[in-house]
Structure 1
């Protein structure tokens, strides 16, 4: 008897603070119940048979209304109700998430001779993402990202080029072994897109850098953990970080372009520790 159902996010997580309200066709409230820690609602009092309106609300989420039919047994099954973030904004569940280098990539692309691209990647990096509890408007924007990259781990597939990139002409890895990024705030720009505002420290120079971030979703992994996936891009000017070396070939074309496109494909594991796999 009563009402049965579950309240979940788009990724399948329980919305533990949701409230379920039922009204009859005249608009009179006949039931109001909070979900349990698993996002489930289950009441025992029998309801009069007939159609009802079910409204599910939760702080930070857009309300959902649907029609439910109470059968002769006095029970209504509403199934799984999916709530979207208020304004459509999505992030992983709150808490700490650790970057998994084994299943992530940090790469940069530079134009070469004005006609093609040189691709490089950093093989050593780590970081931490902290998602704040959604307590209403603006709370998610306080979530933060901290990342560290080993500058000497640059790999472009050419040993001579990599040696030059590690030299004082470019990354100067002896003096500046780490590249760091620390976010200052997040701004939502779409249902699953954010602008991450932060500061990048490279070669001892600190500049404001914004990342265009897409949140790709969350799910379980084969090792018993929970993972979230992101993709982020930005563009950097080499000259902003005192990497002014260049070689001009015919027709005034630079051998290496002044702009670097940075591409991040990130998996993060819920919690402080990463799996070995």
Structure 2
């Protein structure tokens, strides 16, 4: 984790009201569709003295998907895409966190979508630490990672007259995280 004082060590909870875990993908090969999940929770355990002990755990409620289009959101919850009734959560559990530069990390771990788990590395930038007006210590993180949705069983698509596909298989995951330190 960031090269900070030992005050950074400890448990941090992702603040869902000030965080965004989202995605973007090409639609009809000409534009991007963006969305996010509104129901997220997560814990970051930071150990500045022994970074190998640092870890991240995130749970996302699939039913909370929001692309600003109710009809599309309902379709994304079906078996064509996320199959929310049978796979209500997307999870990520870190296995290793590597520092690549000052304030830049690769968070390696297991991403599970539709019951399929794949190991991925997510580049994350530490954006700062600050005490908010209510006295809570906050840390910020941002990053993104492109994945192939087909590898997670998200396969629905429709061919276009041009020969392309309606929805790209490449999805960019987007992370804007505000975490609050759990004071003991």
Please give the per-residue CA displacement for 1:166-223, whole angstroms capped at 9, x wherever unaligned. Answer: 0001000000001110000111111110000000111000110111000011010111
Shift of the alpha carbon at 1:142? 2.8
Task: Report the counterpart of residue 168 of structure 2 in structure 1.
Answer: 257
Write the mapping of 1:35-50 to structure 2, written as runs, cut at 5 A.
Answer: none
Write the mapping of 1:180-195 to structure 2, written as runs, cut at 5 A.
Answer: 180-195=91-106
Task: Report the counterpart of residue 143 of structure 1 in structure 2.
Answer: 54
Write the mapping of 1:95-106 to structure 2, written as runs, cut at 5 A.
Answer: 95-106=10-21
Write the mapping of 1:53-202 to structure 2, written as runs, cut at 5 A.
Answer: 90=3, 93-134=8-49, 139-202=50-113
Aligned length, in residue pairs: 182
* TM-score between the two structures when normalised by the length of structure 1: 0.63
Give the distance between the partners of 1:90 and 1:190, measured in 2 at CA: 10
Matched position secondary structure for 1:163: helix
The root-mean-square deviation of aligned C-alpha atoms, in Å, is 1.6
Structure 2 runs not aligned, ≥5 long: none
Shift of the alpha carbon at 1:153? 0.3
Write the mapping of 1:2-41 to structure 2, written as runs, cut at 5 A.
Answer: none
Structure 1 runs not aligned, ≥5 long: 1-84
Pair 1:219 & 2:130 matched: yes
Shift of the alpha carbon at 1:140? 1.2
Give the distance between the partners of 2:143 and 2:28, measured in 1 at CA: 26
Please give the per-residue CA displacement for 1:115-141, whole angstroms capped at 9, x wherever unaligned. Answer: 11000110000000001141xxxx213
**Larger CA Rg, structure 1 vs 2:** 1
Task: Report the counterpart of residue 271 of structure 1 in structure 2.
Answer: 182
Task: Report the counterpart of residue 21 of structure 1 in structure 2.
Answer: none
Task: Report the counterpart of residue 82 of structure 1 in structure 2.
Answer: none
Give the distance between the partners of 2:68 and 2:173, measured in 1 at CA: 17
Give the distance between the partners of 1:246 and 1:90, measured in 2 at CA: 45
Task: Report the counterpart of residue 77 of structure 1 in structure 2.
Answer: none
Cα pair 1:141 1:188 within 8 Å, conserved: no
Tell me: higher relative CO, structure 1 or 2? Use CA pairs within 8 A at least 6 residues apart: 2
Shift of the alpha carbon at 1:103? 0.5
* TM-score between the two structures when normalised by the length of structure 2: 0.95
